[in-house]
Amino acid sequence: MRFDILTLHPELCRGPVSGSILGRAQEAGLIDVGIHDLRDHAEGRHRQADDAPYGGGSGMVMKVDVVDRGIQAVRQAGGHVVLMDPVAPTFRQADALRLAQVPQLVLVCGHYEGVDARVREHLVDEALSIGDYVLTGGELAALVVLDAVARQVPGVLGNPDSLGVESFTPRDDGQVLLEAPQYTRPREYRGWEVPDVLLSGHHALIDAWRHERAVALTRRWRPDLLPPEDPD
Ligand code: ADE
């Protein structure tokens, strides 16, 4: 799968995609990540990528023609273009699963003060926010989306079983639950003990315990994930 990030700050994007799992996935040829400077598509001696807003107001607005040329330069057949925008539907795990099906994901990073509205209206397939807060730019948001999508690409995670029972991903029965807590050695640390059942070697009991903990955690921290008809 191919990812292309369009940004005014390519240096912000390079680190997070070059190490660890994403770095290895690129070396293995499972994903390809291009990071492109939108300023390369700006015109004039000053390569101006933003301008003052029509109607007045503070701040600068990213220019539609610059973003248009940037998208045209990287978009391939079947490519899906997403604008990172705090005023957009919130990105969820279901979106990560959906976007992992496209051959190319183009992520457009907005300027913190704004992007000409014609970008969202005419140039992109959708816009996504990563949460109800405003970042200085879309770069961190694009990297969040890239990371969550890339790990769904077959082979990127060494052990595909880790995708099986995950928080926010529907289980076989369709239920969405937070993942049960995990423990590792030592068995006891400063008097804090690992639950006995995990040491029992009894897989059916362990599965039942994990399910019970997952339901309890979800009820406590994220009741919004449980179906509305759930009486508790
Ligand atoms: N750009 C600035 N804030 C953002 C957010 N929360 N999500 C996506 N893009 C953004």
Query: What's the 89 CA to ligand 1 centre distance in angstroms?
Result: 11
Please name the helix (run of DSSP H) or strand (run of DSSP E) that holds residue 61, with its range, or none. Answer: strand 61-62
Residues 137 and 83 in one domain: yes
DSSP helix/strand/coil, 23: helix
Q: For residue 62, is it within any domain?
A: yes
- 139 and 75 co-located in one domain: yes
Cα of 90 from ligand 1 centre, angstroms: 10
Q: Is the pLDDT of residue 164 over 70?
A: no
Are 117 and 167 members of one domain? Answer: no
How much distance in Å is there from the Cα of 82 to the middle of ligand 1?
Answer: 12
Per DSSP, the three-state class of 188 is: strand
Strand partners, 5: 35, 107
Structural domain boundaries, residue 165? 161-225
Q: Is residue 232 part of a domain?
A: no
Residue 230 lies in a domain: no
In this structure, is residue 138 part of a structural domain?
yes
Q: Residue 113 Cα, ligand 1 centroid: separation in angstroms?
A: 11
Same domain, 66 and 117: yes
Cα distance between residue 147 and residue 22, in whole Å: 8
Identify whether residues 166 and 216 lie together within a single domain. Answer: yes
Identify the CA nearest to 116 among candidates 62, 66, 48. Answer: 62
Domain of residue 68, CATH code:
3.40.1280.10
134 and 171 part of one domain: no
Residue 174 and residue 145 in one domain: no
C-alpha Rg value of the chain to the nearest Å: 22
- The answer to whether residue 56 is domain-embedded is yes
Same domain for 23 and 132, yes or no, is yes
CATH code, domain carrying 195:
1.10.1270.20
CA distance linking residue 112 with residue 60, whole number of Å: 9
Closest CA to 80 of 144, 124, 21, 19: 124
Q: Which of 150, 185, 216 is the last residue of a domain?
A: 150
141 occurs within a structural domain = yes
The answer for 57, left when phi > 0, alpha when psi is -120 to 50, beta otherwise, is left
Are residues 201 and 86 part of one domain?
no
- Domain-embedded: residue 155: no
**Atom 5 of ligand 1, nearest CA residue:** 86
Same domain? For 41 and 146 the reply is yes
Domain count of the chain?
Answer: 2
Q: Which of 116, 150, 184 is the endpoint of a domain?
A: 150
The answer on 219 and 105 residing in a single domain is no
| Banded pLDDT at 160 (limits 50, 70, 90) | confident
Look over the chain and give the mean of its residue pLDDT values, rounded to a whole number.
Answer: 95
Ligand 1 within 6 A of CB of 85:
yes
Single residue among 112, 130, 150 that ends a domain in this structure: 150
pLDDT tens track for 95-142? 999 999 999 999 999 987 899 999 999 999 999 999 999 999 999 999
Which residue is it, tokens 């879309």? 138
The CA dihedral of 32, 63, 141, 220, to the nearest 10 degrees, is -140
Beta bridge partners of 3: 33, 105
Distance of alpha carbon 22 from the chain centroid: 13
Tell whether 33 is covered by a domain: yes
Per residue in 58-80, pLDDT (tens digit) is 999 999 999 999 999 999 999 99
pLDDT confidence tier of residue 232, bands split at 50, 70 and 90: low
Mind giving me the DSSP string for 130-184? SSSS--SBSHHHHHHHHHHHHTTSTTSSS-GGGGTS-TTS--TTS---PPPP---
Query: Does residue 130 sit in the same domain as residue 218?
Result: no
